[in-house]
Amino acid sequence: MRISVVGTGNVGRALAGAWARAGHEVVLGSRRPEDPELRGGPLPVRDVAAAVADAEVIVNATPGTASVALLSSVGADVLAGKTLLDVAVGFGEDWSLSHPVESLGEEIQRTFPALRVVKALCTVDSSVMVAPGSLEGPSTLFLSGDDAAAKRTVAALLRDLGWPADSLHDLGGIATARGQEHFALLFVGIAQSLGTHGFNIRVVPPAGN
């Protein structure tokens, strides 16, 4: 698939590299496409509008406080009909959530109704996103979104990262992205207690299910 990863931080670069190795056509979208550090990498870097234009799937790996403004700069008509995998969580300067009621995923979907938004991957560190097998056992990754076809597309891309189908847990519509984003607060506490970000949780159903 043609994938545009918008955001060139640790998350964006990790995901872009993993999907490129899986055989996808990947381009990085950046507000600083001429940055020499970005130009020295293995993947093409374009300004955000150019990166998104021909993409089948857009991955939002930007700071959550800037995501909507950045996508707005591209234009709703360019985004219409595309699948957007939203990985971002927004934080304020005091590390409180920037979206305490409506999630970022919901805001993106509301702002761009013709965009097919799926929230996933925001509950794990970038190292685990691309290497779920690095953990001691199976764990759970969540999906939220209103469009069933878009969720199937995202699920296939997650499997390309190494996530088995039985690790993917569909929470329902995009409103459930609130829970995923709020998990960031618990994630920080767990990371501090373990002394590492390289972990995940697992949903364990009742016996007999």
pLDDT one-digit tens code per residue, 82-96 = 999 999 999 988 888
What pLDDT score was predicted for residue 7? 94
What pLDDT score was predicted for residue 38? 73
Helix axes 67-74, 104-111, angle to 10 degrees: 20
Could you list the beta-strand ranges (E) of the chain: 2-6, 25-30, 45-47, 57-60, 83-86, 116-119, 141-145, 168-172
Q: What's this model's pTM, rounded to 2 decimal places?
A: 0.95
Asked if 106 contacts 175 with a C-beta cutoff of 8 angstroms, the reply is yes
pLDDT, mean of residues 126-137: 96
pLDDT one-digit tens code per residue, 164-206 = 999 999 999 999 999 999 999 999 999 999 999 999 999 999 9
What pLDDT score was predicted for residue 35? 76
* pLDDT classification of 13: cutoffs 50, 70, 90: very high
pLDDT one-digit tens code per residue, 26-52 = 999 998 887 777 776 789 999 999 999
What pLDDT score was predicted for residue 3? 98
Look up residue 102 and give its two tokens: 């409506």
**Residue in the block written with tokens 């390289």:** 198
Asked if 64 contacts 136 with a C-beta cutoff of 8 angstroms, the reply is no
Averaged confidence pLDDT in the chain: 95
